[in-house]
Amino acid sequence: MEQEQANTDVIQGTLDMLILKTLSLQPMHGFGIARRIEQVSRSVFKVNPGSLLTALQRLERAGWLDSEWRQTENSRRAKFYNLTRAGWKQLEVETEDWARRASAVARLLKSEA
C-alpha cells in the first residue's frame, strides 16, 4: 500500500538511478538528494522521504553507497552518503540500460504518430 503511493511521484524503478546520479556529483545528505532531484527535474519528480531513506538503506546494503555522520556547514550533524566504486559501476550500467529503454520507447511513440 505504502509502496504504491511512493512510486506515483518517481517513475517506477528509476529512484535508485536518480540517487546514484545525484551522488556522483558530490556526497550529500538525504534532504539534499531529494531537493536536488526535484530542482534538476524542475519539480517533475517529487521524492517522498520514506521511500528515499528506504532506497538509501537498500543501496548501501547493496554496496553501492557508503555513509557517514558529518557536520554540515551550519555545524549540525547529518548523515552524508557517497558513491562507492561499485556504485559508480552500477550507475554506468543503469544509465546505459535507461538510455536503451528510453530510445526504444521514443522510437515506438514516433512510429505510432
Partner 1 sequence: MSFWRQLTRGGRVLVRRRAADDDLSDELRHYVDQAAAELIARGMPESDARRAAQLEIGNMTVAREQVRSYGWENVISTAIGDVRYALRRLRRNPGFTAVAVITLAVGIGASTAIFSAVNPVLFRPLPYSAADRLAVVSDRSSDGSRVDVAFGNYRELAARTRSFASSAAFKAWQPTVAGKLEPEQLTGQRVGAGFFKTLGVAPVVGRDFQASDDRPSGPNVVILSDALWRRRFGADPTIVGQHVKLDDQDHVVIGVMPASFENVVAPLAQIWAPLQYASAFGPDAREWGHHLRVVARLRQGVSFADASREIDGIARSPVAEFARVPWARMSNGFFVTSLQADVTRAIRPAMLAVLGAVGLVLLIACVNVTNLLLARGAQRRAEFAMRMALGAGRGRLTRQLLTESVLLAVIGGALGLVVARVGVRALVALSPAELPRLGAIRVDAMAFAFAVLVTTIVGVVVGAVPALDLLRQNLGSRLQAAGRRSTGGHQRTRALLVIAEVALALMLLVGAGLLLRSIQRIFAVPVGFDASGLLTMQIQLAGEQYRSDSARARYFSDVLDRVRAVPGVQAAAMTSLVPLSGDLDVYGAHLERDRDAQSDGAAMRYAVAPEYFKVMGIPVLRGRALDAHDVSGAPRVAVVSQSFAKRAFGDDNPLGQRFRLGPPQGDWFTVVGVAGDVRQSSFDVDPPAAVYVTPWQWHWVDGSMSVVARGRAGGAGDAASLTTPIRSAIWSVDREQAIVRIATMNALVNRSIADRRFTLILFEAFGLAALLLAGTGIYGVLSGGVTERVREIGVRAALGASPADIVGLVVGRGAVLAGAGLILGLGGAVVGTRAVSALLFGVSRLDAATYFSVAALLAGVALLASALPALRAARIDPAMTLRSE
Which residues of the shown chain bind partner 1 in the complex (CB under 8 A)? 1-2, 6, 29-32, 34-35, 48-51, 53-54, 57-58, 60-63, 74, 76-79, 86
CB of 95 to partner 1, least distance (A): 20
Rounded CA separation 50/110 (Å)? 37
Q: How far apart are the first and last CA of the chain?
A: 36
Q: Which is nearer to partner 1, 5 or 103 (CB)?
A: 5
Q: Which is nearer to partner 1, 46 or 100 (CB)?
A: 46
Query: Cell triple for residue 32?
Result: 539534499
Q: Which is nearer to partner 1, 21 or 30 (CB)?
A: 30
Please give the sequence-ordered ranges of beta strands (E in DSSP) within 15-107, or none if there are none: 28-29, 65-71, 77-83
